[in-house]
């Protein structure tokens, strides 16, 4: 997943949430095409926590963990 940037916007509710929802991420950069024809993508969602009264952020990808050399996550509050 070299030279890719993903960005998205999500609303955050402070308190107990009861639903999960995907965060749509925009991909920009030069994707790598793998032998099965797929391109590396990251998926994100917010879902209820099983142990706390707030939501949790989940990330997933369709590439092997060994192919990820650098991952940086930046979150900013927009008012």
Q: For 59-79, what is each residue's pLDDT tens digit?
A: 988 877 777 778 888 888 887
Please check whether residue 77 lies inside any domain of the structure: no
Please check whether residue 72 lies inside any domain of the structure: no
**Please, which pLDDT band fits residue 23 given cuts at 50, 70 and 90?**
very high
Please check whether residue 8 lies inside any domain of the structure: yes
Domain, as residue range, for 39: 4-65
CA pair distance 35, 3, nearest whole angstrom: 18
pLDDT value for 21: 92
Please check whether residue 11 lies inside any domain of the structure: yes
In the chain, the number of structural domains is: 1
Instruction: Name every residue whose Cβ is closer than 8 Å to that of residue 23 and which is 6 or more positions away in sequence.
Output: 8, 9, 10, 44, 45, 46
- What are the backbone angles phi and psi of residue 43, rounded to the nearest 5°? -120, 145
pLDDT tens, 8-20? 998 888 788 888 9
User: For the purposes of burial, counting CB atoms within 10 Å of the CB of 27, is it exposed (0-12), middle (13-18) or buried (19 or more)?
Assistant: middle
Q: Tokens 């142990």 correspond to what residue?
A: 51
Please check whether residue 42 lies inside any domain of the structure: yes
Nearest-5° Cα angle at 50, 9 to 77: 25
């Amino acid at each position: 997943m070299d030279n890719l940037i993903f960005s998205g916007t999500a609303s955050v509710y402070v308190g107990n949430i009861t639903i999960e929802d995907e965060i749509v991420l925009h991909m920009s950069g030069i994707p790598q095409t793998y032998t099965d024809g797929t391109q590396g993508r990251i998926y994100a969602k917010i879902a209820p926590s099983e142990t706390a009264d707030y939501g949790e952020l989940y990330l997933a990808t369709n590439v092997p963990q060994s192919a990820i050399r650098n991952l940086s996550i930046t979150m900013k509050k927009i008012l």
